[in-house]
């Protein structure tokens, strides 16, 4: 299950608050050991935008290459 949580200062450490809906759905109690995968939301968003940008650039590049190929065929030898 994936959710967004906010990190908070807790003594010399940083704690993460798990939303109550997740606690209830997963039946989590205070003594449970959890496995967490940590990724900053901003980093994920940046990665997503970069992938979309690269995809758009690749598609645009394909269009330009096709136009050049068409022009090259018409170019006199």
Confidence at residue 40, expressed as pLDDT on a 0 to 100 scale: 81
5-23 burial, b for 16+ CB within 10 Å, e for fewer? eeeeeeeeeeeeeeeeeee
DSSP 8-state secondary structure symbol assigned to residue 30: T
Could you tell me which residue, 21 or 63, shows the higher pLDDT?
Answer: 21
Could you tell me which residue, 1 or 19, shows the higher pLDDT?
Answer: 19
Report the Cα 51 to chain-centroid distance in Å: 9
Compute the mean pLDDT over every residue in the chain, rounded to the nearest whole number.
Answer: 82
Q: What is the pLDDT of residues 47-72, one digit of tens each?
A: 777 777 677 777 777 777 777 777 77
In this prediction, residue 20 has a pLDDT band, given cuts at 50, 70 and 90, of very high
Q: Is the pLDDT of residue 41 over 90?
A: no
In the chain, what are the domain boundaries?
1-38, 39-77
φ, ψ for residue 37 (rounded to 5)?
-110, 125
- Cα–Cα distance, 28 to 48 (Å, whole number): 31
């Amino acid at each position: 299950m994936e959710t967004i949580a906010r990190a908070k200062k807790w003594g010399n450490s940083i704690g993460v608050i798990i939303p109550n809906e997740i606690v209830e759905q997963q039946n989590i109690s205070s003594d449970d050991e959890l496995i967490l995968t940590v990724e900053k939301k901003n980093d994920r968003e940046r990665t997503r935008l970069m992938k979309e940008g690269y995809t758009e650039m690749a598609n645009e590049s394909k269009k330009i290459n096709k136009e050049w190929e068409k022009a090259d065929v018409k170019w006199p030898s």
